[in-house]
Structure 1
């Protein structure tokens, strides 16, 4: 018997027992499984949790402090984490904890924690942009990946999808979208050096197609903006992460 909620390791064991849909290298398919496996590889090699490794080895050296892995339940949310909203007529789901209770998908209906290395990070839009700037291949700040790695991740000449990004174009547009019950997100890198990110704490029945509306809106805003501030707004940003307080009663 498998204990609920199902662990990342249980999901991987289940998936590895199945046949591939095609011979490796002959096709493509969107898959979170590989990233979940990579997360466990990071833990095995580093000797620390995947979350701690990303924070200490990637985010903090970039001046990023507001990345946290999400939790499944509302009462376990990060101190500054938003509340997530589904459409008003969303159907509750059976709790992943096996209680039989019907609950909202963002709070016990979906197992966010089981994603592991496949996602489930919560962050702020400014810190997400800080991270994207470190892998965008542009000259505004130093990239943490070597140029050949970035070229490999964004190359479409082999007919396969890019790595990490949802899509890339020959003229330099790269973007990534994401959606879950209660979230809709998109980041985009443009060849003129413009980067933008939209993070929403709600979702629609359009699901991933809603990002088309986000892209259309942001494109209209950018096209209609004649001048931009020359201030480095990152210099005004302070990390909001709060450590738990130790309270002593007298």
Structure 2
């Protein structure tokens, strides 16, 4: 049985801690009605875990998909509430930072196709000014993929992709909402926190830049290129970019829950809005946190890395290789994935969180994979629920004594 090592990993998708949260006003929560499960497959250790976990944390909606040796074993929607929707295995959830492996895959497809070099410098490609810090001119595509670009929010106390919109709008004297171009202009006026390539520091901004690289190289909108060249080739058609406003929630998308509200960053009104719906600008997060997906579609996404197909074995190997010249112990961040060697095999994963969302995608060394999606984040503690369920999911997998022989992917069009 596995140790708790994966639970102690870097919370790569967590965007802020409790100390970073501004003062917020509480809004009333509903009392959850009876439990409902939808979907396909029968693996009781997973179902039992999900029920106990969600009930203990008052999580309204979740979805889980489990893959073994490339076949879909379980596809579930879990509901501790009766409305306004019923979560299905194909229901859309915000992925938060589980969007990053999608962007990394798109970048590596461009590299594989000879359209982009990992050593290409980003500033001239995107027209970023290096006047404030000449080191910005040394940041490469590889640096951005591996979070080596030189931005460290733990040093600067600043993540331009979250709750910094008023700072940027004031500095640039522009109205809310700020755009990606505004963010790039503003961040380029600040100095880097360390020399590019020197060390790892998780950067949402770096992945936003990767989205702009994709657009510059291809001449296509970021999401269009990803859908055409990464998702469609593996029959994933339900995934879409999320939208900030609650009124723009897609028809198959779950609602997001938080007991708190705060000031909107989407206009200058100063209006109070629920944390998931306007206290961060989802449209600006396209490449690092804005994808919507079902659990079954992300389960299919994990199979891209099981064998050559969309990506060659060489490209997959590059994505999971440790960064050159950067010290690491136990685990490291490759290109879009956290990686832990297990003998001659690998555990790879990514998680994500922001208000209303906690997500986790795991590829285990023994051919098991899973994706779990929640419509709530632990607002009070500033922690994502997927950090707590990580190890128990490994335990649940180890408790399965007989795996099905069937593959559920075809029943979901995959």
Report TM bin, short chain. Answer: 0.7 to 0.9
Give the structure 2 partner of residue 212 of structure 1: 387
Deviations 1:121-159 (Å, cap 9, x if unpaired)? 00000101111210x2x34xx442222332232223742
Deviations 1:36-86 (Å, cap 9, x if unpaired)? 112122223322211111111211111000110100001111111110012
Task: Tell me the CA shift for residue 22 of structure 1.
Answer: 1.1
SS at match of 1:28: coil
Task: Tell me the CA shift for residue 95 of structure 1.
Answer: 4.1
Task: Tell me the CA shift for residue 109 of structure 1.
Answer: 1.4
Give the structure 2 partner of residue 100 of structure 1: 270
TM-score, structure 1 length as denominator?
Answer: 0.86
Which residue, out of 204, 217, 224, partners 2:399?
224
How many equivalent residue pairs? 233
Of 26-35 and 184-193, deviating more is 26-35
**Whole-angstrom distance in 2 between the partners of 1:12 and 1:168:** 33
Mapped pair 1:40 → 2:212 = yes
Which residue, out of 200, 220, 223, partners 1:28?
200
Structure 1 gap segments, 5+ residues each: 240-250
SS at match of 1:176: strand
TM-score, structure 2 length as denominator?
Answer: 0.53
Pick the structure with more strand per residue: 2
Q: Which has the higher contact order (CA 8 A, sep 6+)?
A: 2
**Whole-angstrom distance in 1 between the partners of 2:319 and 2:382:** 25
Matches within 5 A, 1:61-76: 61-76=233-248
Give the structure 1 partner of residue 356 of structure 2: 182
**Whole-angstrom distance in 2 between the partners of 1:169 and 1:91:** 41
Give the structure 2 partner of residue 56 of structure 1: 228
Give the structure 2 partner of residue 242 of structure 1: none
Structure 2 gap segments, 5+ residues each: 1-172
SS at match of 2:276: helix
Q: 1:131 to 1:16 in 2, by over 3 A?
A: same
Matches within 5 A, 1:1-250: 1-86=173-258, 88=259, 90-134=260-304, 136=305, 138-139=306-307, 142-156=308-322, 158=324, 159=327, 161-171=333-343, 172-205=346-379, 206-238=381-413
| Root-mean-square deviation (Å) | 1.9
SS at match of 2:350: strand
Q: Is the 8 A contact 1:95 1:101 kept in 2?
A: no
